[in-house]
């Protein structure tokens, strides 16, 4: 404890605001020491007890206790933020895997569009206008032919990951998109809420309790989405193929790029939530503040996965 504080303790001039802010700043130091392996000096429990016991006026004791609610509120935010961030990462990697395997399968399929088709002699006679090269299989084993004596190729493994298979999971993929967006947005909402409370009590730097959000991974996902349309090719190689244009339209509706500018809460909603922030709000119901910032005043783009 520095000399100025010691003098205030002995003179009995410490205020509730001073002790409350010291407690919040100490929380930041303890958090940064733990997260960044620092060894910044901070108050011991004994030091804090001395500061708290130095408060004598009822108004200062009351104010300090109001800061205690802010302290407890701030202390809860990293865990809530981390929970939303972890959930977002879970759904992100699920979507990433689906898109990655889809692109790989479609790329392989496109590369094989000019490969020769295997046919029996009878099959070649039945399809004289085949646009692709043909390889004649003179004596195929019966188990590889249908009742007409036509060669039946096995379904390649890539078919499990191509667009037709992916579109069969449309409802589940749409849910992944919804959850990814909802949890990403919750991270931004939590950061904005902590900033509002910090500005209200005179400690805006309290937002350092929550890490900054990076959009790098979203940019990577968006890049994969943008590549989808140009890689779709259909040429009758697989049974039950969808029309090429139908696939493009359905994939475009299902996988839409995420606008990172729409992830933070709207400034209008932050301003509206900030109007009601006070020590009493933090003591009572901060959820109302977060609920306001989760709303969108005009943009429908954020709800594309909900349609």
The model's pLDDT over 43-63, given as tens digits with 9 standing for 90+, comes to 788 888 989 999 999 999 999
Given phi > 0 = left and psi -120 to 50 = alpha, else beta, which region is 231? Answer: alpha
To the nearest whole number, what is the mean pLDDT of the chain?
Answer: 90
If you ran DSSP here, which 8-state letter would residue 117 be given?
E
d(CA 238, CA 66): 68
Least confident range of 40-54, 167-181, 183-197, 246-260? 40-54
193-225 residue pLDDT tens = 999 999 999 999 999 999 999 999 999 999 999
Residues of the chain above pLDDT 70, percent: 95
The pLDDT, as a whole number, for residue 297 is 67
What is d(CA 79, CA 77) in angstroms, rounded to the nearest whole number? Answer: 6
Confidence class of residue 22 from pLDDT cuts 50, 70 and 90? very high
- pLDDT at residue 155, rounded to an integer: 75
Band the pLDDT of 25: cuts 50, 70, 90.
very high
User: Chain-centre distance of CA 306, in angstroms?
Assistant: 16
* Per-residue pLDDT band at 158 (split at 50, 70, 90): confident
Maximum Cα–Cα distance for the chain, whole Å?
107
Q: Where are the domains of the chain?
A: 3-56, 88-110+158-306
**Given this model, what pLDDT does residue 151 score?**
85
User: Which helix (H) or strand (E) is 49 found in, with range?
Assistant: helix 45-53
pLDDT of residue 174: 97
CA 147 to CA 222: how far, in whole Å? 47
* pLDDT value at residue 40: 65
> 41 falls in which pLDDT band (50, 70, 90)?
low
The strand pair at 134-136 and 117-119 is best described as: parallel
pLDDT (mean) for 81-86: 98
Q: Read off the DSSP letter of residue 135.
A: E
pLDDT at 258: 96
Q: How far is Cα of residue 299 from the mean position of the Cα atoms in its chain?
A: 19
- The 10s digit of each residue's pLDDT in 103-145 is 999 999 998 888 888 889 988 888 888 778 889 998 888 888 8
**pLDDT at residue 1, rounded to an integer:** 64
Question: What pLDDT score does 302 carry?
Answer: 42
Is residue 303 over pLDDT 50? no
Query: CB-based burial of residue 38 (10 Å sphere; 0-12 exposed, 13-18 middle, 19+ buried)?
Result: exposed
Structure tokens at 107: 């790329």
Calculate mean pLDDT across residues 152-173: 90
- Mean pLDDT lowest among 57-71, 170-184, 232-246: 232-246
Is the model's pTM score more than 0.75?
A: yes
């Amino acid at each position: 404890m520095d000399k100025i504080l010691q003098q205030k303790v002995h003179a009995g001039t410490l205020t509730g605001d001073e002790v409350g802010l010291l407690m919040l700043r100490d929380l930041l130091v303890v958090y940064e020491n733990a997260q960044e392996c620092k060894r910044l000096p901070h108050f011991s429990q004994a030091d804090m007890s001395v500061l708290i016991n130095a408060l004598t006026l009822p108004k200062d004791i009351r104010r300090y206790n109001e800061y205690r609610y802010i302290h407890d509120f701030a202390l809860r935010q990293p865990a809530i933020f981390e929970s939303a961030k972890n959930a977002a990462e879970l759904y992100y990697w699920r979507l990433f895997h689906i898109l990655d395997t889809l692109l790989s399968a479609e790329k392989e399929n496109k590369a094989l569009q000019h490969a020769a088709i295997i046919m029996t002699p009878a099959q070649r006679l039945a399809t004289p206008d085949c646009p692709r090269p043909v390889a004649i299989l003179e004596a195929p084993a019966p188990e590889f032919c249908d009742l007409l004596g036509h060669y039946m190729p096995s379904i390649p493994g890539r078919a499990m990951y191509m667009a037709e298979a992916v579109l069969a999971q449309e409802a589940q993929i749409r849910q992944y998109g919804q959850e990814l967006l909802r949890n990403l947005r919750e991270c931004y909402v939590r950061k904005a809420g902590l900033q509002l409370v910090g500005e209200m009590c005179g400690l805006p730097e309290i937002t350092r309790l929550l890490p900054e959000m990076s959009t790098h991974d979203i940019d990577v996902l968006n890049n994969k989405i943008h590549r989808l349309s140009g890689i779709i090719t259909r040429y009758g190689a697989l049974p039950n193929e969808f029309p090429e244009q139908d696939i493009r339209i359905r994939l475009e509706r299902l996988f839409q790029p995420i606008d990172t500018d729409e992830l933070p809460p709207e400034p209008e909603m932050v301003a509206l939530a900030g109007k009601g922030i006070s020590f009493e709000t933090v003591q009572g119901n901060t959820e109302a503040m977060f609920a306001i910032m989760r709303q969108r005043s005009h943009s429908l783009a954020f709800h594309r996965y909900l349609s």
